[in-house]
Structure 1
Amino acid sequence: MALTDQRWQIRYSYPASPAAYWAKDGLEKNTTFLNNGEEKLTPEEAAAIIARQFRHEGPLTGITVWQETPEERDARLAARRRAEADEQNGIWWGMGGAN
């Protein structure tokens, strides 16, 4: 998949841990990109694979899959270009508070 392609995204809810005071209705949500051939699966199959990768357990609900809009793609690419420019200037995420 080319970087400039509009990528597919997936969102699902899963049971929150008891310590997750921020979770509404006892559920947490995960939203991420599909990128390893999961686009060819049903939303339920893709969600199960992604949930295993993130170690999310329990029944998955509210599963939705959609393709990012051209505007979302452009914002993602712009953020990547900014991050690459920062790295070239010696600024990167691993610096902590050193900058």
Structure 2
Amino acid sequence: MDRNELLAKNRWKVRYSYTCTCDPTCYYEKDGRHTTTTFLNGGEQDQGTEAVADHLAQFHKQEGVKVEEVWQETDAERDARIAARQREAADEARGIWWGMGGAN
């Protein structure tokens, strides 16, 4: 399976929280924890939430990881992600990219 076929699949997402280790503690954290959402890429969802938590803790070097939800993106989410990627590629081809600092 090539890269485009992989990107066109409905990917697995995970919402999780982890202990805030910032000094001083961030003003936007909730109950001493950060919450974020990311993609799973290595089939961790098939191994259960403990495996997902272990993977996230090791990969992102975060402490106290607690998985809140694991789900597969909907067709609409997938289509929006692909469209955004295509817009970014078209912008880059025209010489417009994120590193310009807003100087379009």
Q: If the TM-score is normalised by the length of the shorter chain, which range does it land in?
A: 0.7 to 0.9
| 1:56 Cα offset (Å) | 0.9
Q: Where does structure 1 differ by over 6 angstroms across 4 or more consecutive aligned residues?
A: none
Q: Which amino acid aligns with 1:49?
A: H
**Number of residue pairs matched by the alignment:** 98
2:58 corresponding residue in structure 1:
52
Calculate percent identity across the aligned residue pairs: 51
Unaligned runs of 5+ in 2: none
1:29-44, aligned counterparts within 5 Å? 29-44=35-50
Query: Partner of 2:59: helix, strand, or coil?
Result: helix
Structure with the larger helix share: 2
Q: TM-score, normalised by structure 1?
A: 0.86
**What amino acid is aligned across from residue 52 of structure 2 in structure 1?**
A
**How far, CA to CA, are the matches of 2:102 and 2:65 in structure 1?**
37
CA displacement at 1:47 relative to structure 2: 2.1
Indicate the residue corresponding to 1:13 in structure 2. Answer: 17
* 1:10 and 1:47 in contact (8 A); partners too: no
List runs of 5+ in structure 1 lacking aligned partners: none
